[in-house]
Structure 1
Amino acid sequence: MKDSGRTILLADMNAFYASVEQAFNPSLRNQPVIICGDPQQRRGIVLAASYEAKNLGVKTGMTVSKAKELCPEARCLPPRMNTYVQVSIRIIEILKQFSPLVEPFSIDEAFVELTGCESLLGSEKRAAQRIQRQIHMETGIHSSIGVGPNKLLAKMAAGMKKPQGITILSHEDVPEKLWPLPVGKLFGIGNRMEHHLYRMGIRTIGDLARTDPRLLRHRFGVIGQVLYESAHGTDSSPVDPYSLDGNKSIGHQFTLPRDYTEIKDIRLVLRELTEEVASRARKAGYIGRTVSLTIKGADFHSIHRSLTIPHASNLGHPLFQATMELLHRHWTGQAIRLIGVTLSNLQPDQGVQLNLFKDLNREHRLADTMDKIREKFGPESICLAESLLESSLYSDRAGKIGGHHR
């Protein structure tokens, strides 16, 4: 785009999980399809829905029972995460045919830097049409595409025409097309920030753009300046093909099969969670100092708290101790339906720091041995003895991707 000298495209796959199923199974095409968890295991939540189902009111996050009321003829299918990951990888490969600078943003979205490719690809619209057509021809997946002078405007544009739309936004379009939108629609603003802005009387993106940036900086620090610039359509972040190469955090969370209220049951789940997070950190070659605990109650009220431990670690026991401390500090006894643990403040694992009072070498050798056994014989080949108890989720989780079957 001429106003910044850059041309950025965001390709957003429409109803991705459901679209993959329709592409792989012709009998599902033009039919309402719902990808969902197992209702019997309390994971009966809509993960994705085809546009045929969405047009009847089905939404992501809705319970399967509610979705079936709205769309009784829908085909409900379990997620196949490994298949979706493989299709996502193929789409990234397709995008790299058009530019070497492709940044995966999520499993169904990616930014493409087209700056300098105009002579090869033609106009922004023509380039978007070629990419959209190539993705569909090779995978059967439809996409919506946004084009802008930066990642922010490309992302905003991609959401304006769904499904199968192409939208081009320039800086000159911002006052007319973005400012009337609710402030929560601005890329980068989550529910919590939207709530803070509402309390300041900021309802629309235009309200945010007209707010004194000094007030925003005073209230939110450097984030306030970013908010102000975003409201004006300004974003200088590069398209980074290596953005996913370095982990910023490693975590895991899942919905429980029933409401957990007993401390002994919650303790077991946290023990298993921290062991899983620690194992993933070891596999990635990281240790971390900050442990975060996420709890969502049966009333959907969430608690998220963090604790920095004295020494960075990727062993289950110190992470478990930190999560239990957080639980005792902040849990008020309400029934828990979702629980998660995250390790952040990561740094490369460069060996064991000696400790006069604990044999960390022994703990590391034990952890490494368990990792090797699971790698060779499968995730269920060895586990904690208490994972054989009824409240354990270990055997149900083993071998899944993102909590879902491969």
Structure 2
Amino acid sequence: MNNFYASVECMLDPALKKYPIAVCGSVEERHGIVLAKNYKAKAFDVKTGDAVWQAKQKCKDLVVVPPHYEEYIKYSKLARSVYERYTDQVEPYGMDECWLDISGTESLFGSPEKVANEIRETMKFELGLTISVGVSFNKIFAKLGSDMKKPDAVTVIPKDTFKEKIWGLPAADLLGVGRATQRVLDSYCIRTIGDLANTDPEFLRRRLGKNGVVLWNYANGNDLSLVAKKDFVSPIKSVGHGITTVADLEKPEQVWPVFLELTQDIGHKLRVHGLSAEGVAIHIRDNTLNTRQWQTKIALPTQSPMIIAKTAFQLFEKRYGWNNPIRSVTVQAINLVPQDTPRQIDMFMDAAKQDKLERMEKCVEDGI
């Protein structure tokens, strides 16, 4: 859906349509960044992730509106109800995007391009929202196609001519190529999707790990992943919690209690889902909005908030250079396994002590 948050806000208040607008988090609660913008704001180079003050510097007439998440959820569900008229294989990708598998429905609804245009018109007529649709033979190229023409458009990427259609596009347009990956690719003059497709996959593996081979397959049209059915619940891969602090954090002793507070929620969620963590990841955003992230393993799978917090803090002290004060902190429990997974005991690890700590924490949480 095009400029989803901003488009919903313009429907709720049609007077906004004539202005450049940005949906922004609360400045008072220090979530003051641009979450979405309309095309009028985009014309002034207002970008998602800009601080509010930066966005207003770029566009002095910018109208800032707060987010109304309950409305976004409502319209997201309404959109999916439209998609489900054509298939039960509807896989959400965030609140405003979905993959649909309409294989085998041609005798019912016509060609894929016809279906795409029909959905596009239905969304405008019934919901007042414009969408851009990508039609292709796999999920990655369908997503790429949806980004190629905006707003209110359909792009078809056929299997027999996809190289001509997309190999000239920037590699950064491909799903999975983030800023860090793009910097690595740029350093080896891999600028386009075609460059990526024609690079030795073993070279990419050495430079980018297994993700390098995944991207090589994507660029060559080898994505074989299936579209999940609408009621499919994907397994939990991580459990996290983050906070934007009321004031910038300037010393380690201010960071430790934040980690400890965040991991109470994480430990509770792990127990609810019957999972233990074998690793911890931290995401640190400083007051210039630069974000760094690191991860590490935990010696034994755990649900303990204290162990997760200590592991996170040790990682933080080892990696964060304190070039700037800290604006927000997120902790994630990663590499999750069922809580009853047998542990490979290391002779130097006190598993009994860890079990005792976890039982004590559970008793405290349960009020026993």
Q: Distance in 2 between matches of 1:220 and 1:205?
A: 16
Residue of structure 1 in register with 2:152 after alignment: 164
Give % identity. Answer: 33
3-state SS of 1:343 partner:
strand
Which of 340, 343, 352 is the aligned partner of 1:355?
A: 352
Q: Distance in 2 between matches of 1:23 and 1:315?
A: 46
TM-score, length-scaled by structure 1: 0.80
Residue of structure 2 in register with 1:191 after alignment: 179
Q: Does 1:341 align with 2:341?
A: no
Q: Distance in 2 between matches of 1:285 and 1:90?
A: 33
Residue of structure 2 in register with 1:389 after alignment: none
CA gap of 1:199–1:58, structure 2 versus 1, over 3 A, is closer
Q: CA deviation at 1:282?
A: 3.1
Q: CA deviation at 1:54?
A: 1.8
Which of 256, 273, 280 is the aligned partner of 2:245?
A: 256
Q: Distance in 2 between matches of 1:208 and 1:240?
A: 28
CA gap of 1:43–1:223, structure 2 versus 1, over 3 A, is closer
CA gap of 1:194–1:37, structure 2 versus 1, over 3 A, is same
Q: Is the 8 A contact 1:152 1:235 kept in 2?
A: yes
Q: Distance in 1 between matches of 2:94 and 2:124?
A: 18
Residue of structure 1 in register with 2:347 after alignment: none
Q: Does 1:47 align with 2:32?
A: no
Q: Is the 8 A contact 2:282 2:332 kept in 1?
A: yes
- Residue 253 of structure 1 aligns with an amino acid whose one-letter code is G
Q: CA deviation at 1:258?
A: 3.4
TM-score, length-scaled by structure 2: 0.88
The number of residue pairs the alignment matches comes to 358
Residue of structure 1 in register with 2:278 after alignment: 289
Q: Distance in 2 between matches of 1:86 and 1:109?
A: 14
- Residue 90 of structure 1 aligns with an amino acid whose one-letter code is L
3-state SS of 1:114 partner:
coil
Q: Distance in 2 between matches of 1:200 and 1:285?
A: 44
Matches within 5 A, 1:366-381: 366-369=364-367
Q: Is the 8 A contact 1:292 1:343 kept in 2?
A: yes
Residue of structure 2 in register with 1:203 after alignment: 191
Q: Distance in 1 between matches of 2:341 and 2:189?
A: 51
Which of 91, 94, 97 is the aligned partner of 2:79?
A: 91
Q: Mean alpha-carbon deviation: is it higher for 272-281 or for 106-115?
A: 272-281
- Residue 37 of structure 2 aligns with an amino acid whose one-letter code is A
Q: Does 1:238 align with 2:221?
A: no
Q: Mean alpha-carbon deviation: is it higher for 145-154 or for 124-133?
A: 124-133
- Residue 358 of structure 2 aligns with an amino acid whose one-letter code is L
Residue of structure 2 in register with 1:392 after alignment: none
Q: Is the 8 A contact 1:183 1:204 kept in 2?
A: yes
CA gap of 1:276–1:205, structure 2 versus 1, over 3 A, is same
- Residue 134 of structure 1 aligns with an amino acid whose one-letter code is T
CA gap of 1:163–1:230, structure 2 versus 1, over 3 A, is same
Q: Distance in 1 between matches of 2:317 and 2:176?
A: 32
CA gap of 1:219–1:243, structure 2 versus 1, over 3 A, is farther
CA gap of 1:252–1:39, structure 2 versus 1, over 3 A, is same
- Residue 319 of structure 2 aligns with an amino acid whose one-letter code is H
Q: Distance in 1 between matches of 2:250 and 2:209?
A: 39
Post-superposition CA distance 1:19-78 (Å, at most 9, x none): 122222333334432110122333221111122322333221112123223333333111
Q: Is the 8 A contact 2:303 2:358 kept in 1?
A: no
Q: Distance in 2 between matches of 1:112 and 1:39?
A: 37
- Residue 63 of structure 1 aligns with an amino acid whose one-letter code is A
3-state SS of 1:181 partner:
coil
3-state SS of 1:310 partner:
strand
Gaps of 5+ in 2: 344-350
Q: Distance in 2 between matches of 1:363 and 1:351?
A: 20
Q: CA deviation at 1:300?
A: 4.5
Post-superposition CA distance 1:216-246 (Å, at most 9, x none): 3454454333222222233111111366531
Aligned-residue Cα RMSD (Å) equals: 2.5
Q: Distance in 2 between matches of 1:302 and 1:64?
A: 17
Residue of structure 1 in register with 2:348 after alignment: none
